[in-house]
Amino acid sequence: MFIRYLYVFFIFILISCGKEKSEVEFQEFDKEKLVSVINNYSSEDGGNKELDKIIYNEDKGIYFSLFKDNIMTYELVGLGVGKGIWELTDTSLIIKADTGLFDMIIDIKEKGTEGLHFFYRDRFGSQVVKVNIKNEQSL
């Protein structure tokens, strides 16, 4: 009797693992759009919150300013402010920082025709969040 249940359990596991994989659709990467969100001065120049280009999502409370010296500043509502680095790769703009609570790694890239998005993982899994840009008229 026990072997029968073990056999059914084994078959159930095999069937469960056989699900189809989802496909990922790639699109051409527009570096110019990402370069346009970088402030044209270094972080040492102090910046100006009224004039800085800021990449943000108000619903999540995430705000980033990127500077030409590859430094970025962030504000995470409820967690505080800090500095990190950014780099432009062949596929996205990546921002990284050690917040003291966790290592933050966020890709910023275009999602189809919907514009720029944050792509990151947190304790709830993979997240994709629409991005807004403050002072976009200066782009």
Question: What does the pLDDT look like over 32-83, one tens digit per residue?
Answer: 777 888 888 888 876 666 778 999 999 999 999 999 999 999 999 998 999 9
- What gap in Å lies between CA 68 and CA 90, rounded to an integer? 18
pLDDT value, residue 31: 76
| Rounded Cα–Cα distance for residues 66 and 55 (Å) | 8
The band of 139, judged by pLDDT with boundaries at 50, 70 and 90, is very low
User: In the chain, how long is the greatest CA-to-CA distance?
Assistant: 76
137/101 Cα distance (integer angstroms): 35
Cα 123 to the center of its chain, rounded Å: 14
